[in-house]
A and B are shown apart, each in its own frame.
Chain A
């Protein structure tokens, strides 16, 4: 059974702090790694889809890196703001089968205190 682990489970930071969290996934048969942001009472929204080892993606103050050989991805938030408070999900897809193989981690819940 493929496992996607996210750490930490939750994180509390002060406004202005920079923070990062980790997504670990199987290092074999890698196809794609997704990051989503999920605000309370809303639906998940895509941040990044990463497919190449060494990939780095950036959207405003949020960036992500990918290491497919060792099976991890980092999500960084620079200068956290209260509106960054959300659960951040990663999802792994391996080769073979359809997107039915997209496996989600349990998420990292970020709380940013003003």
Chain B
């Protein structure tokens, strides 16, 4: 059972480039989300999805797009990377949007934008 798989683990982009961070889970979880972790900050929610075809914005959505065409996959797109998007990104999933089930996290993607 792989759990939550994120790729790539590391990425360096130039300002203005675009890329997609991949996230897949094999636990049949309905809820998936993306967080970013910056020094001195707590994990901040970027976007989330409560099921296939449904997405919504979190606390810091600007500069990021998401889609959820299948239950398993929840990619995060940076359309035009900016240095402010240098961060560590975590994808997380849970059984359903119930609030009382724990999140399962991927291993993170460390992104540097120069």
Contacts and interface: CB of A to CB of B under 8 A. Distances in A.
B42 A98 contact: no
Contacts of A89: 42-43
A105 B42 contact: yes
Contacts of B41: 106
Interface of A: 4, 31-32, 34, 36, 42-46, 49, 51, 89, 91, 93, 98-100, 102-107
25 contacts: A31-B99, A32-B99, A32-B100, A34-B102, A36-B103, A43-B106, A44-B90, A44-B105, A49-B100, A49-B101, A49-B102, A89-B42, A89-B43, A91-B43, A98-B31, A98-B48, A98-B56, A98-B97, A99-B33, A99-B97, A99-B98, A100-B33, A100-B48, A100-B56, A102-B99
Interface of B: 4, 31, 33, 35, 40-45, 48, 50, 56, 58, 90, 94, 97-108
Nearest to A51: B100
A42 B98 CA distance: 25
A113 to B, nearest CB: 24
Contacts of A36: 102-103
